[in-house]
Amino acid sequence: MVAAPQYGTAVLKGLRSGRIYNVDMYHSDVVDGLANFDGGGGAGATSPTSFTLPEDCILLDYSIVTGMTDTTKVQVLRGNQPTGDFLRYTQHLTTSPARSPIQLGFKQGVELRCIQKA
């Protein structure tokens, strides 16, 4: 199959400010590839492969557009350490009104990363 890149969004809530951070992502649909995060000019294939948390945050939602062909989920990392959580695309599609709830905590300065998995 030919890879079918798609876009997504990570929604985080700042614990100090209460601010909601909507961070766009680009998924290349390549097994073991890192997702790319918007670095200020939109998310794309050359965007950063991590998002550095500006304050202590909780990851509340993760959504992705349907159509991936080679990967089925992402493994969430704090820095380079897996959290033990896998987010399956079928449960986190942008078209789903009832996405699986997420509440993963991240400390200020930590890099959020996502590895695409089959």
SS3 of the chain: helix, strand, coil, percent, to 5: 5, 45, 50
Q: How high does pLDDT run on average in the chain? A: 95
Q: Is the pLDDT of residue 24 over 90?
A: yes
Contact 35, 50 (CB under 8 A): no
Q: Is the pLDDT of residue 3 over 90?
A: no
Tens digits of residue pLDDT in 50-104: 999 999 999 999 999 999 999 999 999 999 999 999 999 999 999 998 898 999 9
Give the integer Cα–Cα distance in Å for 58 and 63.
15
The fraction of the chain above a pLDDT of 90, given in percent, is 92
Structure tokens at 50: 């991590």
| Sign of the four-CA dihedral 27, 37, 106, 78 | positive
pLDDT given at position 97: 86
Categorize the per-residue pLDDT at 1 as very low, low, confident or very high, splitting at 50, 70 and 90. Answer: low
Q: Average pLDDT, stretch 34-55? A: 96
pTM: 0.93
Residue 39: CA count within 13 A, CB half-sphere:
10
Give the C-alpha distances (Å, rounded to integers) separating 35 from 17, 18, 19. Answer: 27, 26, 23
Residue 64: strand, helix, or coil: strand
Long-range residue pairs from 40-49, CB within 8 A, at least 24 positions apart, any chain: 43/7, 45/5, 49/113
